[in-house]
A and B are shown apart, each in its own frame.
Chain A
Amino acid sequence: MKKSSLILASAGALLLMAGVYLAFFVAPDAVVRIDDRELVRYSQKIFYFHVPVAETSFVFLLLGGLFGAMYLGTRKRSYEQMSYAAVEVGFIFVLLVMITGVLWTRADWGVWWEWEPRLTTFLVLTLMYSGYFVLRSSVQEESAKARFGAIFSIIAAVNVPLTFVAGRLDSLKPVHPTVFTLQGASMEGPMLAAFLVSMFGMLLFATSLYIMRLDLLRAREDIEYLKEELEVG
Chain B
Amino acid sequence: MPKQMAELLKHEKQSPTGAQTEIEVAGLSKYFGKRKVLTKISFELEKGGFLSLFGPNGAGKTTLVKILSTLVAPSEGTVSVAGLDPYKNSAAIRAKIGLISHSPLLYLDLSAEENLKFYGAMYGVDNLDARIDELLEQVELDHRRYDLVRTFSKGMTQRLAIARALLHRPSVLFLDEPHTGLDPHAVDIFESLLDTIRQDHTFVMITHNIERGLALCSKAMILYNGQIAFYQNKADLDKDMFNEIYRQKVKGEH
Residues of A within 8 A of B (CB): 75, 77, 142-143, 146, 221-222, 224-225, 228, 232
Contact = CB atoms under 8 A, between A and B. Distances in A.
Interface residues of B, number: 7
A232 B32 CA distance: 17
Given A75-B73, A232-B225, A142 B35 contact: yes
B34 A222 contact: yes
17 contacts: A75-B73, A75-B75, A77-B32, A77-B33, A77-B34, A142-B32, A142-B33, A142-B35, A143-B32, A146-B32, A221-B33, A221-B34, A224-B35, A225-B34, A225-B35, A228-B35, A232-B225
What 4 A-B pairs are tightest by C-beta distance, nearest first? Answer: A77-B33, A225-B34, A143-B32, A221-B33
Contacts of B75: 75
Nearest to B224: A232
- Which of B34, B73, B225 gathers most chain A CB within 10 Å? B34
Given A75-B75, A146-B32, 9 more contacts: A75-B73, A77-B33, A77-B34, A142-B32, A143-B32, A222-B34, A224-B35, A225-B34, A232-B225
Contacts, number: 19
A45 B33 CA distance: 46
Contacts of A224: 35
Q: Is the interface of A mostly helix, strand, loop or mixed?
A: helix
B180 to A, nearest CB: 21
B90 to A, nearest CB: 15
Contacts of A221: 33-34
B33 A225 contact: yes
Nearest to A222: B34
A143 B73 CA distance: 12
B36 to A, nearest CB: 9
Contacts of A232: 225
Nearest to A141: B32
A229 to B, nearest CB: 9
Contacts of B33: 77, 142, 221, 225
Nearest to B75: A75
Contacts of B225: 232
Tell me which of B33, B34, B75 has the highest count of chain A C-beta atoms within 10 A of its own C-beta. Answer: B33
Contacts of A225: 33-35
Contacts of A77: 32-34
A142 B73 CA distance: 16
A232 B73 CA distance: 25
Interface string B22-34: 0000000000111
Contacts of B32: 77, 142-143, 146
B225 to A, nearest CB: 6
Nearest to B226: A232
B254 to A, nearest CB: 14
B37 to A, nearest CB: 8
Interface in B212-239: 225
Contacts of B73: 75
Residue of B32, B73, B75, B225 with most chain A CB atoms under a 10 A cut-off: B32
B152 to A, nearest CB: 32
Nearest to B225: A232
A232 B226 CA distance: 12
Interface string B68-87: 00000101000000000000
Nearest to A229: B34
Nearest to B72: A143
A142 B75 CA distance: 16
A225 B35 CA distance: 6
Contacts of B35: 142, 224-225, 228
B125 to A, nearest CB: 32
Nearest to B37: A143
